[in-house]
Amino acid sequence: MEIRDLTPDDLDAVLDVRKRSFGLVPAHEAERWRSMVIPTLPEGRYLGAFDGGRLAAAARLRPFTQWWHGRPQPMAGVAGVTVNPEDRGRGVGSQIMRAVVERAAALGDAVSVLYPATTPIYRSVGYEHAGARHRVTLQPEALRTIRTSGQVKLRRMGPDDAAEVISVLHRVHGASRASGPVSWDEPTLRAWLGRPDDFLYLADDGYLIYRWDGGDIEVDNLVAGSADTARALWALVGTSSTIATKVVAAVAPDDPVLWLLRERSTDHLTVTRWMFRVIDVAAAVQRRGYPRGVTLDAVVEVDDPLRPGNTGLWRLEVSDGTGTATTTAAGSGASAEGPRLSVNGFAALYAGVPTATLRGSGLMTGDDRHDESLDTAFAAKPYMLEYF
């Protein structure tokens, strides 16, 4: 099996694998997909596994920015992982995913995320459950009760506002110390903001993207950096309350709208889980944000069969909102004794999964003296608004 970069000549075969894996692809969607993919092929972000000259599997690495405790870093979003039905069960999926991890490292990404169609294959290459996309069902008339200050200026937005949207995300996610949300690269965002059936509004510190879905409203993105802007954007959605039967919105698990509603007795929530991998331990720890006022000095042992450079003892130090991970030798003192984690367990720890959960699931063993400090330093409620 040969794994290589895809070229434009391979895209018909990719579409065939996608059709066999996920169902029919309408012609207009196929053309839009081609227009988005072709410019990225020279970047080495689309891999194919070939059996002779026949495409057996494919996987794409999408360039994202992801925030962890308010600090942005590059992230490899893995999408479009497809294997021909006749090639399944031969280890082809694992082969291409191992190549994806190595390519993410070569591209300079220290972390990676994917939405799994199945879990075992991704766990086998170091990905672990970390966060989720939360979609809540709201009653339109409840949004109409949200009172606004009348001071927030909203305007319609489009593709030319892509850079401003990215700027808003950096300011809002940084100030809120968010963990997990992402931003598309500017070319992709420009295309997204050009979809004809979406309604888009921009404020100085927030924006809204929504659409009609039959008799319902679907909110893709609503990001706000202040209470006034949150009220203004949600109230705008609520202006359709006399027509819409319900509003389905992608939200943070503690989105302010859930406290703005006058009536909230039950939540109807759909959760789609995503998985996370640390590609480079040292770079990932250095690029992450941490709570100010929290200090950590602990040694952990990481085992990463796929990337030996991650395997070994790591001294984790956190102070003043920043962190470092440095390799350390065994037997260099009591401080060099600590918990042991698979790379899956380290990914989950990084994403805020409590040490008690990691120990209960077998992802973490050994010395527990630093567990509370590790929980405090890596505390997070990771979420995403996007699905890719």
Question: Contact 238/266 with Cβ under 8 angstroms?
Answer: no
What's the residue count for the chain? 388
Q: Which residues contact 340 (CB under 8 A, 6 or more apart)?
A: 300, 301, 303, 364, 365, 366
At 252-284, the pLDDT tens digits run 999 999 999 988 888 899 999 999 999 999 999
Q: How far apart are CA 138 and CA 76, in angstroms?
A: 32
Question: Contact 83/21 with Cβ under 8 angstroms?
Answer: yes
Residue 115: predicted pLDDT: 98
Q: At 82, phi and psi to the nearest 5? A: -135, 140
Give a three-class secondary structure readout of the chain.
Answer: CEEEECCHHHHHHHHHHHHHHHCCCCHHHHHHHHHHHHHHHHHCCEEEEEECCEEEEEEEEEEEEEEECCEEEEEEEEEEEEECHHHCCCCHHHHHHHHHHHHHHHCCCCEEEECCCCCHHHHCCCCEEEEEEEEEEECHHHHHCCCCCCCCCCEECCHHHHHHHHHHHHHHHHHCCCCCCEEECHHHHHHHCCCCCCEEEEECCEEEEEEEECCEEEEEEEEECCHHHHHHHHHHHHCCCCCCCCEEEEECCCCCHHHHCCCCCCCEEEEEEEEEEECCHHHHHHHCCCCCCCCEEEEEEEECCCCHHHCEEEEEEEECCEEEEEECCCCCCHHHCCEEEEHHHHHHHHCCCCHHHHHHCCCEEECCCCHHHHHHHCCCCCECCCCC
Residue 336: predicted pLDDT: 54
Domains of the chain and CATH, by start: 2-126 (3.40.630.30), 134-271 (3.40.630.30), 280-377 (3.30.1050.10)
* Paired tokens of 180: 């997990």
Percent of the chain with pLDDT over 90: 91
Q: What band does 217 get if pLDDT is binned at 50, 70 and 90? A: very high
pLDDT reading at 332 higher than 80: no
At 121-173, the pLDDT tens digits run 999 999 999 999 999 999 999 999 999 999 999 999 999 999 999 999 999 99
Report pTM: 0.94
CA-closest candidate to residue 313, choices 324, 329, 296:
329
What number is the average pLDDT over the span 102-116? 98
Question: Contact 70/173 with Cβ under 8 angstroms?
Answer: yes
Q: At what angle do helices 11-22 and 27-37 cross, to 10 degrees?
A: 130
What number is the average pLDDT over the span 231-246? 94
Residue 331: predicted pLDDT: 58
* Paired tokens of 222: 């609503």
* Paired tokens of 219: 């909110």
Residue 264: predicted pLDDT: 84
Q: What is the mean pLDDT of the chain?
A: 95
Residue type, 93: G
What number is the average pLDDT over the span 218-235? 97
